[in-house]
Amino acid sequence: MAKTIKREEEVVVISGAHKGKRGKILSVIGGERVLVEGVNLITKFERKTQENPEGGSVEREASIHYSNVMSVEKYDAKNKK
């Protein structure tokens, strides 16, 4: 399977719990996993530091496998038929 998904490209999640959501790719991790903006959010708890004296929880994107996303152009063309 050709890996044609690149950073800053608009994609649609085609399978999993977040099916149908759209977002921009923030980064590609290890060639097989991608971070999509606003998709697969998890809560991380941070310790108190000098930069963040409050500490607390932060929502971040977790990675998903590249086979679960499709470019918006291909997705829209496929669903027009």
- The pair of three-digit structure tokens given for residue 58, joined into one six-digit string: 């932060």
Determine the Cα–Cα distance for residues 80 and 64; give it in Å rounded to an integer. 26
**Domains of the chain and any CATH numbers:** 10-80 (2.30.30.30)
* Of 33 and 80, more confident: 33
52 vs 62: which has the higher pLDDT: 62
Percent of the residues in the chain that have a pLDDT greater than 70, as a whole number: 95
| Model confidence, pTM | 0.79
Q: Which of 38, 40, 7 is nearest to 22 (CA)?
A: 38
Buried b (16+ CB within 10 A) or exposed e, 26-57: bebeeeeebbbeebbeeeeeeeeeeeeeeeee
pLDDT class of 2 with cuts at 50, 70, 90: low
Interval 3-14: pLDDT, tens: 678 899 999 999
Burial tier of 21 (Cβ tally within 10 Å: 0-12, 13-18, 19+): middle
